[in-house]
Chain A
Amino acid sequence: MVRYSFLSLLRNALSYHENWPQAWRSPEPKPSYEVVIVGGGGHGLATAYYLAKEHGITDVAVIERGWIGGGNTGRNTTIVRSNYLWDESAALYEHALKLWEGLSQELNYNVMFSQRGVMNLAHNQHDLRETARRVNANRLNGIDSEMLTASQVKAFCPVIDLRAGGRYPVLGASLQRRGGTARHDAVAWGYARGADARGVDIIQNCPVTGFIIENGRVQGVETAKGPIRARKVGIVAAGHSSVLAEMAGFRLPLQILPLQALVSEPVKPIIDCVVMSGAVHAYVSQSDKGELVIGAGVDHYVGYGQRGSLMVTEETLAAICELFPLFRRMRMLRQWGGIVDTCPDASPILSKTPVEGLYINCGWGTGGFKATPGSGHVFAHTIAQDRPHALNAAFSIDRYQTGYLIDEHGAAAVAH
């Protein structure tokens, strides 16, 4: 792997950038691998990367039905934070956040992790109480988190209208300064490059059409490019998790929903932090390119169409216009949808499955991007060791039988 640096950029400029190597190869699949990862999003690629790096398992293929990073990895609003309420989630997301903090250097690929601070707004007494609860829990879990008064909110984000038209006044907020945003595509590409350099095969345009299961144990996958044998298979397919689980003969506690996002036309820097409001279903930050990046709430029907309905956009933009009346003249440039796999408790599943050797990583709902490095890291451990990492033990699929749910609806900020 050629190291990326300013010097290498300079050197290649001299040769008109004609000699850069491929960031990753596009090999034909081998007949068999030790581990096959189904799904070439950020989580799947990170899983492959850490399998190779941390567990020495390099005989790995990542099988992607389309192009890597083309699902929710490339469609989310790129917010990274770890201020989750419950101990189990806080530990998992904080693990991810710590990995984010060194990720550009780890991957030698600038993922532009920008710790510009994430504010979650409180609009009524109930919000304030819940915010305090979460901030206190975060702090005692060793996670940076602060409670802001309304005037501190204004100081941190001067363009916000605290009165917000009188309907949803801003009474306070929580702030995680270490939270922020990252460049979503770069995360997939960086992990792909890192995994590829360690021997992982990345197979694109290769839908998985079935699982080879013998005596209750997975033996590989059927794909558009023929069968690929594997000792272990990990499913990391977000919105397509239920489809794949059905192929493997089990069901998941998911609801697959469209989630919309949009960007404005680019403008010069105007908002320098991430603002989230669960009460009115709106998140906003400004990308390095200058676009306002805005996330909406979910559409409430099962949908694989990567699109949702107007009323969700209307609701979100009305909320943005309320909190930021100066943005009413800004224009929506581009709108899109993802397919999110939501769990009843708004927490993910990183688990073994009823099929031996088959593992699943899903249920991240609206908030998976922020967990990408941590998710891949502990899921790689789960696959390599055939048992969960301490950080994902609680996120087993069994919890839907025992009732050990980790209800993060408050923290997810979107009412599922």
Chain B
Amino acid sequence: MLLIDCPYCGPRAELEFSYGGEAHIVRPKDPEALSDAEWGDYLFMRKNTKGVFLERWCHSHGCRRWFNVARDTVTYEILAVYEMGSEPPALPERNLV
């Protein structure tokens, strides 16, 4: 049960959150201009970084707000929590494999 530090409510148990997958995937401005391959990439292709991964969470049973998390997907350690729309903070390099 992860302990996630909601930027709006403080640390809460994972139970209160829902997951939104990889962060910083921006919806194309003009989808019609994309090829099928490009659109498929946007829709489905994901990094699944082993190591520090930027991902989205929503405090769905709390303030209902979305935010970004930098989490190590091996140790599950949370390295940073930052607001939607902001750039990820500088993070230590990790050995990813």
Contact = CB atoms under 8 A, between A and B. Distances in A.
Nearest to A240: B50
Interface residues of A, number: 25
Contact of B46 (A255, A301, A310, A401): A255
Contacts of A253: 40, 43-46
Interface in B21-73: 21-22, 36-37, 39-41, 43-50, 53, 55, 71, 73
Nearest to A401: B40
B59 to A, nearest CB: 14
A311 B39 CA distance: 35
Q: How large is the interface on B (under 10, 10 to 19, 20 to 34, 35 or more residues)?
A: 20 to 34
Contacts of A305: 73-76
A377 to B, nearest CB: 27
A335 to B, nearest CB: 14
A302 B18 contact: no
Nearest to A209: B97
Interface string A46-77: 00000000000000000000000000000000
Interface in A273-316: 300-305, 309-311
A83 to B, nearest CB: 26
Chain B at the A interface: SS class: mixed
B73 A302 contact: yes
A207 interface: yes
A251 B2 CA distance: 28
Contact of B44 (A243, A301, A303, A400): A400
Interface in A340-357: 344
B97 A254 contact: no
A242 interface: yes
- Residue picked from A240, A300, A301, A305, most chain B C-beta under 10 Å: A301
Given A302-B53, A303-B73, A304-B50, A309 B43 contact: no
9 contacts: A243-B50, A252-B48, A255-B48, A302-B53, A304-B73, A400-B44, A401-B36, A401-B37, A402-B36
Interface of A: 207, 209, 240, 242-243, 246, 251-256, 300-305, 309-311, 344, 400-402
